[in-house]
Amino acid sequence: MSAPARSVGVAVAQFAPVADTAANVDAIARLTAEAVRRGARLVVFPEYASYFVDPFDPTLAEHAQALDGPFVRALTDLAAQHDVHLVAGLVERAGDERHVHNTAVAVGASGLLARYRKLHLYDAFGQRESDWVAPGAVEEPQTFEVDGLTVGLMTCYDLRFPEVARLLADAGADLVAVPAEWVRGPLKEHHWRTLLHARAIENTLFVAAADHPPPLGVGSSLIVDPQGVEVAAIGTGTDVAVAHLDADAVERVRRVNPALRLRRFTVVERPS
C-alpha cells in the first residue's frame, strides 16, 4: 500500500490595495484568517500590497518602507498568530528619494524568510514603471520552505520572461509565488492565464499567483499544478482560493516528464 500524499494548503488572496498601509494590513489580516480557516499554510497576496496608488506619484516613495519596517512586522505578527507563511508585495525604500523597489517578501513567524526585488519593470503597454521603481539586481534566487515545499518568488511582469521561473526551478523551487498587478486591457487576461499555465508546465512545478481585482487588475488569481491544471481560482472579486497540494507531485511529474534534465540550454545574464 502506497504512503498517503503529503498535502500542503496553499492560498491565493485577491484584493485591491489602496494608498493606506493600515487599511491594507487590515484586509490582509481578514483574508489570512479565512485562508487559515480553510487549511492554508501559505497565503500569496498581490503586488504593491503595502501601498498602491494609480497613477503612481511621489507618495509611492514617501510611503516606502525598509525590509524590517512596520509592514513586514505586521505580516510577521499575523504569521505568528496563525502559524502560516505569507507572501506579499512591499513598496521598499531604494537608494534615492524618487525611486522605490517593488519587492516580494516572504514572512513567517520568525520574520523575513526571503525577498525578491522585481527585475523586469512594466515598461510596456503604455506604462512606465521604471519612472518610479528601481529594478532589482540579478542575484541567486532566494527560496524558503513550507512543509516540505520549496517556494520561490517572482513578480507580475516577470511572468513574461521564462528565464525567471527557470532559474527558480534550477534553485529547487517546487512552487513559484507570483504577486501581481496585472493591468487590464485587450487580451491581457488571456495572456495572464496562458503564461501562468506555461510557467507551470515548462518547469513542472506549482504556480500560485495573486492579482488585483478589476477595474485595474484582471483578477483571476490562480493556483496551477505541475501539469498545467488549475486547482484553485478566483473570479473578479475580493476573495481567497485554497488548494491542498500534493507535495510529492513535482517529483512524480518530473519522473514521467524529465524535461528539465533533458534540456540542452541554461540561463545566463544578458549583458547590459
Q: Which positions are catalytic?
A: 47, 118, 156
Measured in degrees and rounded to the nearest 5, phi and psi for residue 263 equal -65, 160
Q: Cα–Cα distance between 117 and 101 in angstroms, integer?
A: 6
210 DSSP β-pair partners: 179
Using alpha carbons, select from 188, 128, 130, 129 the residue that is nearest to residue 160: 188
Q: Is the Cβ–Cβ distance between 86 and 177 less than 8 Å? A: no
Residues 6+ apart with CB under 8 A from 240: 11, 12, 13, 14, 31, 34, 35, 38, 40, 43, 234
Of how many residues is the chain composed?
A: 272
Q: Cα–Cα distance between 226 and 216 in angstroms, integer?
A: 29
Q: Which residue has the cell 506549482?
A: 206
